[in-house]
Amino acid sequence: MLDDLEPETLALHTGIHRSQFNEHSEAIYLTSSFVFESAAQAAARFSGEESGNIYSRFTNPTVTAMQERLAALEGAEACVATSSGMSAILACVMGLLSAGDHIIASRSLFGATVNLFSNILNRFNIQTTFVSATDIDEWRSAVKVNTKLLFLETPSNPLTEISDISALSAVAKQANAWLVVDNCFCTPILQKPLELGADLVVHSATKYLDGQGRVLGGAVLGKRDLLMDGGIFSFLRTAGPTLSAFNAWVILKGLETLKIRMDAHCAHAMEIAHWLEKQKNVTRVFYPGLSSHPQYELARRQQTAGGGGIVTFEVEGGKEAAWRVIDSARLISITANLGDTKSTLTHPATTTHGRISQEARDAAGITGGLLRIAVGLESPQDIKADLARGLLS
Ligand SMILES: *Cc1c(COP(=O)(O)O)cnc(C)c1O
């Protein structure tokens, strides 16, 4: 019955398992362990003969509810929740790869992901080759006999480059490797990487899925055999970066409003991007919803419901001018987080991308004048007025 429903309906009516009290809003199960009726039942649960909860590092009913709801939205067979977005990425690697394996990853990734791949995994003899987010030939030429994983994020942060998921899924298949897509910026409302050929989707639920800046969380989604038998779930239940029941409940309830929030984030971001394009001291605006975006057509094909909530723009006058915009804002929060109801403003060159070398920043196009706004749910009129203070001064 649930198969034909629209996303906003799925987000309200999946993952519901009412208790004996018949509560309308989902219950929260704050318990570390579960009680058995007999020694025989305990033994049957532990051996896997009987399904059911044992201990919340393995499974918990609130976490299961959140997993079912997110799986329904992504169109995934299975979902495992994790304590953060980073532990979702780590779980993919630890679950599927071994020492000696090779990863190909987009150069335009979340900073901590770059750090994990280049400074931590290399200590365990898992090497990563970083390639252009947009040049398919670079990915193809980077393939080695031991390549096991292709990893990308689209649109990229902060320049909103779009990677072609279908084309890269073909490269992965030919290489006999898995394609993993970090779908944090789009959420399943805008983009469904599994339908486009990705093997796994990872999420930082900390961002739009919670959507209100309250908790950390993450998830890995995909085919049941890859997740449950392929080592990812086993890594989580053994090593322990599972999602807490409380955070799962917050995210479960956050998902209920995901569609209307994403629609509003997209509409507000579009309005602000259009307005920024007209400001005389703004030299460039990067937003996949603008027809001036170099990959506008690909973005329209791949992100069927809008350009997302992140707008990046460059002001004339370098770092000094960019900092003036930030320091003149009274409403927009100065923070590097995104996907919150409240708008946030960041100077990538000195924060999120501050620890990489000047050459690497230049190569990535992260200039001193670049600013990234994660557009929230305030009236776009008020956000424009807040930005105008620093742009015009
Ligand atoms: C924030 C973020 C992550 C990491 O998520 P955490 O929940 O902070 O661990 C991964 N990928 C992207 C694109 C992000 O924005």
Q: Please provide the DSSP assignment of 13-42 as one string.
A: HSS----TT--SSPP----SB---SSHHHH
State the pLDDT at residue 2: 65
Show which of 206, 230, 255 is a domain's final residue: 255
Q: Is the domain of 211 the same as that of 266?
A: no
CA neighbours closer than 13 Å in the CB half-sphere of residue 372: 24
- Nearest atom (ligand 1) to Cα of 205: 7
State the pLDDT at residue 356: 78
Whole-Å CA distances, 380 to 203, 270, 320, 339, 388: 27, 10, 25, 16, 12
State the pLDDT at residue 80: 98
State the pLDDT at residue 1: 58
Residue nearest to atom 5 of ligand 1 (CA): 85
Cα 216 to ligand 1 centroid, rounded to whole Å: 9
**How do beta strands 102-106 and 127-131 pair?**
parallel
Q: Is the domain of 222 the same as that of 272?
A: no
How many structural domains does the chain have? 2
pTM: 0.96
Q: Which residues, other chains included, contact 266 with Cβ-Cβ below 8 Å and sequence gap of 6+?
A: 190, 289, 305, 306, 307, 308, 309
State the pLDDT at residue 33: 97
Q: Is the domain of 174 the same as that of 303?
A: no
State whether residue 376 is helix, strand or coil. coil
| Single-letter amino acid, residue 357 | S
Q: Is the domain of 120 the same as that of 145?
A: yes
Q: Is the domain of 287 the same as that of 275?
A: yes
Q: Is the domain of 278 the same as that of 324?
A: yes
- Nearest atom (ligand 1) to Cα of 157: 13
Q: What is the pLDDT along the chain (393 residues), one digit of tens a residue?
A: 566 899 999 999 999 999 999 999 999 999 999 999 999 999 999 999 999 999 999 999 999 999 999 999 999 999 999 999 999 999 999 999 999 999 999 998 988 999 999 999 999 999 999 999 999 999 999 999 999 999 999 999 999 999 999 999 999 999 999 999 999 999 999 999 999 999 999 999 999 999 999 999 999 999 999 999 889 999 999 999 999 999 999 999 999 999 999 999 999 999 999 999 999 999 999 999 999 999 999 999 999 889 999 999 999 999 999 999 999 999 999 998 899 999 999 999 999 888 778 887 887 889 999 999 999 999 999 999 999 999 976
Mutate to test the pocket of ligand 1, among 92, 108, 183, 207 (most ligand atoms within 8 A of CB): 207
Q: Is the domain of 214 the same as that of 308?
A: no
Residue 91 CB less than 6 A away from ligand 1 = no
Residue 85 CB less than 6 A away from ligand 1 = yes
Q: Is the domain of 141 the same as that of 34?
A: yes
CA–CA separation, 215 vs 145, rounded Å?
A: 40
CATH number at residue 305: 3.90.1150.10
Mutate to test the pocket of ligand 1, among 116, 184, 338 (most ligand atoms within 8 A of CB): 184
- Nearest atom (ligand 1) to Cα of 216: 7
State the pLDDT at residue 365: 87
Show which of 208, 227, 255 is a domain's final residue: 255
Residue 207 CB less than 6 A away from ligand 1 = yes
Cα 18 to ligand 1 centroid, rounded to whole Å: 32
CATH number at residue 95: 3.40.640.10
Q: Is the domain of 27 the same as that of 147?
A: yes
State the pLDDT at residue 337: 87
Q: Is the domain of 193 the same as that of 337?
A: no
Cα 235 to ligand 1 centroid, rounded to whole Å: 20
State the pLDDT at residue 127: 98
Q: Is the domain of 30 the same as that of 149?
A: yes
Q: Which range of residues forms the domain containing residue 342?
A: 259-391
Residue 216 CB less than 6 A away from ligand 1 = yes
Residue 106 CB less than 6 A away from ligand 1 = no
Q: Is the domain of 269 the same as that of 234?
A: no
Show which of 199, 233, 255 is a domain's final residue: 255
